[in-house]
A = this chain, B = another copy of it.
């Protein structure tokens, strides 16, 4: 059985058993069933209940053993001490059991119970996920463990050690335009660890980029080997919790994780071309970068910034400088082309290109298109970052300036032969109306393969992750290596 076949029942389960739903009140198990049904899950849901014939209007079974046929995925939300027996009762029937309960290896007294849980899973022939986690999200199969998730699938696969962060990644991620092939929370990872799930996602044809949130791992060597080989196939982004000494102690009481050497993770990141990020926001921005842009086998290190706002251009240049980009001045020919546009005083065309909104609105945004075309023609931009001060630009209400700029960028991209990456920064003032309009433009751009960031500093971070991936690919397969040979 291939890894792909082995894990398909987890992400595309035909039968889900729910252990721990109540016949009289609303427990976690009940909420899980309701979430599944609201989300449109079309498979069979079997509540397990010792006495009730019906739970949530569904016919219940007394134990996992009584379920007719196979169970692809058992959701187990019961007191920690009875979880091993629950697993044993499903012997030979259950492919994957996800144990939500806390009180195992992450606590002082739970280590023995966790060993027993693992033993029970092995005896039953069941792969254990967790314990101390939250669930699986698989939009294509309409499986979810939390409400208000999108059913629209996408290319981002996530393995997340923390359940709460898993919810954040799904919900904050979807607000930012991320779309998922699947997400699994692994908690204490007593049996199934990140390595096997990454192997699955590397084989899964719907996954284009993989995100990992890890606090620690019991399978260091195997995981390192998987990650080291992975980037030749798909980019992996790592958010590592417990990278500081104080954070390590916090991780130990969260998932019982031994966080491992900080230096080892950094070395791995360098060796494997795997972007290593510090915050949830950087994680999401980096995943979005790799959802939208396809890394090349050459390093994109020359950025052109274009937008409205002089101070913003200066601070943005600082941010891109710190992220290792060069913001090179244009050659004389490109400068001549840009100067021929006769932009008003206050505009600067050297790179960063700073053009007042008033000039950008002229001719229904065609000024912007001419600038973007000139940048593409120059051949010196690996990355073009267009930034917009929405407060100012939405003030010009008689023309959809921002929509026109996005369209202009897409038109230029179609004829551009340099493969220049295009990214967009939508700078909002936080006002409710601005935010509303930003949501629309954000999704419109992302659907066209243009990643959107909140600020130039975030764009610099997100795009520097692209450089990490590209540098790795350039190393293992230099561009034009065949022609050089």
For A347, the closest partner residue in chain B by CB is B102
User: A311 on the interface (CB 8 Å rule)?
Assistant: yes
Closest B residue to A146 by beta carbon equals B391
- List, in ascending order, chain B residues with CB within 8 A of A311's CB: 160-165, 213, 215, 241, 254
A70 at the interface (CB under 8 A from B): no
Collect the chain B residues with CB atoms within 8 Å of residue A246's CB.
317-318, 320-321, 326-327
Using an 8 Å CB-CB cutoff, how does the interface string of A122-135 with B read, 1 for contact, 0 for none?
00000000001000
Contact with B along A304-336 (1 / 0, CB 8 A): 000011111111011111100011010000000
Q: Across the interface, which residues of B come within 8 angstroms of A223, CB to CB?
A: none
Q: How many residues of A contact B (CB 8 A)?
A: 79
- How close is A258's CB to chain B, nearest CB, in angstroms? 13
Q: A164 contacts which chain B residues (CB < 8 A)?
A: 308-312, 389, 392
User: Which of B176, B350, B392, B427 is the one whose CB lies under 8 Å from A430?
Assistant: B176
> Closest CB of chain B to A267's CB: distance in Å?
18
- CB of A393 to closest CB in B, whole Å: 11
| B175→A431 contact, CB < 8 A | yes
How far is it, in angstroms, between the C-alpha of A168 and the C-alpha of B310 when the chains are bound?
A: 12
Whole-angstrom distance from the CB of A172 to the nearest CB of chain B? 5
Q: How far is the CB of A56 from chain B (nearest CB, A)?
A: 18
Residues of B within 8 A of A280 (CB): 312, 315, 455
Contact A457–B168 (Cβ < 8 Å): no
Q: Does A475 belong to the interface (CB within 8 Å)?
A: no
Q: A172-B429, A348-B254, A455-B280 are in contact. Are A312 and B244 (CB under 8 A)?
A: no
Q: A314 touching B245 by the CB < 8 A rule?
A: no
- Given A246-B317, A345-B101, do A148 and B431 touch, yes or no (CB 8 Å)? yes
Q: Chain B contacts of A430 at CB under 8 A?
A: 171-172, 175-176
User: Which of B172, B348, B391, B431 is close to A167, meaning CB atoms less than 8 Å apart?
Assistant: B391
Across chains A and B, which 10 residue pairs bring their CB atoms closest together, nearest first? A162-B311, A175-B430, A102-B346, A165-B311, A244-B321, A247-B318, A171-B429, A103-B345, A241-B314, A254-B310
A–B complex contacts, Cβ < 8 Å, 27 sampled: A132-B346, A162-B310, A163-B311, A164-B309, A165-B309, A165-B311, A168-B429, A171-B430, A172-B428, A172-B429, A172-B430, A213-B311, A241-B314, A242-B314, A246-B317, A247-B315, A247-B321, A250-B352, A253-B348, A253-B354, A254-B311, A278-B318, A278-B457, A279-B315, A280-B312, A280-B455, A432-B435
Interface residues, chain A, with chain B CB atoms under 8 Å away: 80, 101-103, 107, 132, 147-148, 160-165, 167-168, 171-172, 175-176, 213, 215, 239, 241-247, 249-251, 253-255, 278-281, 308-315, 317-322, 326-327, 329, 344-346, 348, 350, 352, 354, 389, 391-392, 395, 427-432, 435-436, 439, 455, 457
Given contacts A80-B345, A164-B312, A172-B430, 15 further A-B contacts (CB under 8 A): A101-B345, A103-B346, A132-B346, A148-B391, A162-B312, A162-B314, A171-B430, A172-B429, A176-B430, A243-B318, A247-B314, A254-B310, A254-B311, A278-B322, A432-B439
